[in-house]
Structure 1
Amino acid sequence: MRDPLADRAAVTPEATALIDADRDERWSVADLDSAVERTAGRLATLGVRPGDRLGTLLPTRPAAVRVIYAAVRLGATLVPLGARLTPDELAVRIERADVTTLVCDATTEADAVAATAAAGDVPVPVVSVDDADAERVTALDTHPPEAVVPQDWALDSTLLIPFTSGTTGAPKGVRLTLRNVLASAVASVFRLGLRRDETWHVALPLHHVGGLTPVLRMPLYGMTVVLRDSFDAAAVAADFERYDVTATSLVPTTLSRLLDATEGDICPTLRTVLLGGAPATGTLLDRCVERSVPVFPTYGMTETASQIATATPAEAASHPGTVGRPLFWTDLSVRDDEGNARPPGETGELVVSGPTVSPGYLDAEATAAAFGDGGLRTGDVGYREDGLFWVVGRTDDLIVTGGENVAPAEVVDALRDHPDVADAAVVGVPDAEWGERVAALVVPREGADPAASALDEHCRARLAGYKVPRTIRFVDAIPRTASGTVDRAAVRDRLP
């Protein structure tokens, strides 16, 4: 495939490609294409070549879009990293993805330097899209651009490697191919529809597929993407009106805040709210019906380049809790432990196959455990009725808080690393705002008397903020089953 942004610039050069809502600045397709050409040329001057792994540690801003499309133009595989992760967490991902260059900005420079220094014997080069303050950081715009020949991507080439977390807490790099991304873009538009003046608002992090996919689809659809660095309900509502937004991607927490901050119709041009990241409550969906919010509840994964199944607003209203029907080309089935199909109405593990499904993880063992002849074992439990699907839980103990995945084992390891902690158990408990919140039972070491505030500080130095337990209770022993495993039901009973 040729460079999609360059192709779009040849077709509709004067159309608006990008709007920075934080600064009310606009880029035409031609302007963005020229900026990407300069960025790609400067990265080439610094040694980035086809086949390299280009890491990004950038907030949701136009500079990130320039780097994303510069990677496409150069033929470098994009490795988007979360700006909320600690340097230690980043270092693990940088090593596992074999990142060859890391791009940061002024807000992430310190973490980028610390993470790349810890990632291996030879520090990974760090490039900033802003002025560089640290000695080991190169300012991108101070280098003259080389001439770049756009890469001709094969469909099965790995376009990007986002990370997800498994139940062990070990970050898993997901190999998403060009075929995966294109199939997802086509199947999504078949379900959601498309306006000629489509304007998609993005206030999600660009290391999540929920935030990244609208950016990747922008030149394919010929739509405008409106970026906001972080979610503020009042500001987002104002963006919808100012820029005639037609579509957006939200998680239940942000949608609830948006409803709280507004009255009546959120925006007359808004036709699609793609709602994912966590299950939506019946109360939230009822509020959407009352306010005429066109919500499309969706079920998706990083491993499927976004959506797997998506409900229309009518399906969401008539079948409470459904995530709808599988997307075009996507096969979704309910299976028992032996891999046999379960009949309608009976629960089992959801297994998905089709062209959107990743060929696997960076780790061969993780790939073998999850991917098989029948497709990807999602780890989600659900059922189907009349062609519609519901997701009711997990086969493991993954916590989903505010759309972010948290592996309990990773939090337990951080707590146990504190000198005053003998044992710990971590679960997700219901939370009105976040869907779930991280909660922990902690057993102090004999003679120790740790404070919850001290454990909070300890965890924040090792974990992203959303992984830090919001509730901590001290106990004499962790409830366990006869076989010695943590009795998670009993743990939850002790955590309000």
Structure 2
Amino acid sequence: MDGLTRSAHVDTFARDHLPPADQWPQLRFDLPELRYPERLNCAAELLLGPADDRPAFRTATGTTWSYGELRARVDRLTHLLTGELGVVPGNRVLLRGPTTPWLAACWLAVLKAGAVAVTVLAQQRPHELRTMCEIAEVRHALCDVRSVDDLAKAEIPGLRITTYGGDGPDDLLKRPAPGTPYAAVDTAGDDVALIAFTSGTTGRPKGCMHFHRDVLAIADTFSRHVLQPHAGDVFAGSPPLGFTFGLGGLVVFPLRAGASALLLEQAGPKQLLPAIAEHRVTVLFTAPTAYRAMLDELDGHDISSLRRCVSAGENLPAATWRTWHERTGLRVINGIGATELLHIFISAADEHIRPGTTGVPVPGWQARVIDGEGRERPDGEPGLLAVRGPVGCRYLADPRQREYVRDGWNITGDTYVREGDGYFRYVARADDMIISAGYNIAGPEVEEALLRHPDVVEAAVVGRPDEARGQVVVAYAVLGQGARRDAEALRAFLKAELAPYKCPREIVFLDALPRTATGKLQRFRLRSGGHTEGDQQ
């Protein structure tokens, strides 16, 4: 393709299926650290630097891999990939398993071999796996032996599955391989390094293609300038490596900083708090729901080691931010990212945090709020969020590229307001705006009001079609243990918090909200009625 560097890929599928050049977003490399060389292998770059005896990955059982051990194991895996398994540069390799050092090492080996990593979630079902392998034409898979059943059941034509972590002689980790260093394939900075499939969508998944330089760019923007890690940090969090929030927070950012990461196979709120205390975690990545859930479990857990808390995946309610700050003294770094852009592009840290806003564009990124015609909206007026920077959306052979990229900007699908001082405030997903009797109502605003009630643990608000009003506001609430399901009392509380037209016409109590495997709320299931039955009042 015109303008791209000479590729190292023998299998040219990924480059051949990039969107046409006129559908690409405008890329910006405004910071000196973003001016990467033409030849670049991001795995080799991430493994450079720290002394061999420095810790790289830790596990809940107390196992620690040093950087020297990680480099040696990645080289051994790369020898196996390119030798016995026959992987050539450009081949797509599916990676599947719980969050472990071996999964991270396999990811690094695939990239070092010049292949393309397609990391999926361990929870995804056979039909989902089959669809993704069909879209990306995947023919190789490295799979934790504990996660192989659904992959085998998918019966993907031509897929060679190699398991790791098992007892059989054919297990990847038991095969003989050279113990010598492996010289990374001389990939171009704009060779595709990974394909990340979008989560939480309805319909056919979209494969987002990211280059070797993109992997470093997310570390050299958000991590370097907002998170500001140092080599002594211990990272941990709940998002899996098949979710780009987790890939950045648990692999790319710590390795780029020469730090270490605690990789937890089980990383719910109940597991995170004791892990923080035992392993002296300093940097935490998780979703707003987990921060809220951990508030009820804080007593008896020592989290004094924490110095950074990062929230993304969905909007962080101001009430959750304030309560966490009051209880812990820690300021949560809120951020918005997207699979299409790999990681966080609007955020703020320390004294620059303003609860209730997402923040300002991360250094290296630009953002604005536009109308449906692409015109910039005045400050204080809601519109579509448009961003651009060193990473941009490139869907794998998908006509929806034209919807996401317009006039060189990435249109994220979020409704935002830019305040007069440059801070960006989240309003709703563009398709979550409720129009009732002529009023525009942002579901997340009603959710935040619900969450201010002491009995409400989780909340979701959607619009339901109504013949008279167009739509009516329907609220779904999960209450704390022992709380009484009293819709009238909750309505009375909301009437003191919101304008009358924003108050829900209907309140449904659920035991749990529907979420994706990565923790994102599935409002579309609530809109369609495909949710767990609850008390309707």
Tell me the TM-score range normalised by the shorter chain.
0.7 to 0.9
Deviating more after overlay: 200-209 vs 379-388: 200-209
**For residues 253 and 266 of structure 1, do their structure 2 counterparts lie closer, same or farther at Cα, with a shift above 3 Å needed?**
farther
Alignment of structure 1 residues 53-452 onto 2, 5 Å: 53-115=92-154, 117=155, 119=156, 122-131=157-166, 139-145=171-177, 148-165=182-199, 168-188=202-222, 189-214=224-249, 215-263=251-299, 267-291=303-327, 292-316=329-353, 319-358=354-393, 360-385=394-419, 386-396=421-431, 430-432=476-478
CA RMSD of aligned residues (A): 3.4
Residue 229 of structure 1, CA deviation? 0.7
Letter in 1 for 2:403: A
State the TM-score, normalizing by the size of structure 1.
0.77
Letter in 1 for 2:71: D
Q: Distance in 2 between matches of 1:472 and 1:354?
A: 33
Count of equivalent residues: 419
Q: Distance in 2 between matches of 1:12 and 1:471?
A: 49
Deviations 1:378-429 (A, max 9, x none): 111011111100111122259999xxxx9x9xxxxxxxxxxxxxxxxxx995
Deviations 1:156-204 (A, max 9, x none): 1111111104754210000111222222111112112222312111332
Letter in 1 for 2:397: D
Is the Cα–Cα contact under 8 Å of residues 382 and 390 in structure 1 kept in the other structure?
Answer: yes
Letter in 1 for 2:380: G
- Percent identity, please: 28
Letter in 1 for 2:227: L
Tell me the SS of whatever aligns to 2:296. helix
**For residues 256 and 50 of structure 1, do their structure 2 counterparts lie closer, same or farther at Cα, with a shift above 3 Å needed?**
same
Tell me the SS of whatever aligns to 1:364. coil
Residue 266 of structure 1, CA deviation? 5.2
**For residues 49 and 258 of structure 1, do their structure 2 counterparts lie closer, same or farther at Cα, with a shift above 3 Å needed?**
same
Q: Distance in 1 between matches of 2:205 and 2:337?
A: 18
**For residues 295 and 86 of structure 1, do their structure 2 counterparts lie closer, same or farther at Cα, with a shift above 3 Å needed?**
same
**Which residue in 2 is equivalent to 1:449?**
none
Q: Distance in 2 between matches of 1:467 and 1:239?
A: 23
**Which residue in 2 is equivalent to 1:16?**
55
State the TM-score, normalizing by the size of structure 2.
0.71
Is the Cα–Cα contact under 8 Å of residues 313 and 520 in structure 2 kept in the other structure?
Answer: no
Residue 246 of structure 1, CA deviation? 1.4
Tell me the SS of whatever aligns to 2:262. strand
Q: Which runs of 5 or more structure 1 residues have no equivalent in the other structure?
A: 409-426, 435-459, 474-485, 489-493
Q: Distance in 2 between matches of 1:487 and 1:207?
A: 27
Q: Distance in 1 between matches of 2:80 and 2:195?
A: 22
Is the Cα–Cα contact under 8 Å of residues 237 and 272 in structure 2 kept in the other structure?
Answer: no
Deviations 1:251-305 (A, max 9, x none): 0111122222113885223111110111122321121220212310111111111
**For residues 471 and 198 of structure 1, do their structure 2 counterparts lie closer, same or farther at Cα, with a shift above 3 Å needed?**
closer
Is the Cα–Cα contact under 8 Å of residues 6 and 33 in structure 1 kept in the other structure?
Answer: no
Q: Which runs of 5 or more structure 2 residues have no equivalent in the other structure?
A: 1-39, 434-442, 448-459, 463-472, 481-513, 530-534
Residue 2 of structure 1, CA deviation? 4.4
Is the Cα–Cα contact under 8 Å of residues 204 and 230 in structure 1 kept in the other structure?
Answer: no
Q: Distance in 1 between matches of 2:115 and 2:107?
A: 10
Q: Distance in 2 between matches of 1:41 and 1:259?
A: 46
Is the Cα–Cα contact under 8 Å of residues 84 and 465 in structure 1 kept in the other structure?
Answer: no
**For residues 428 and 312 of structure 1, do their structure 2 counterparts lie closer, same or farther at Cα, with a shift above 3 Å needed?**
farther
Letter in 1 for 2:344: Q
Q: Distance in 2 between matches of 1:239 and 1:139?
A: 30
Greater relative CO (CA pairs within 8 A, separation 6+): 2
Is the Cα–Cα contact under 8 Å of residues 41 and 189 in structure 2 kept in the other structure?
Answer: no
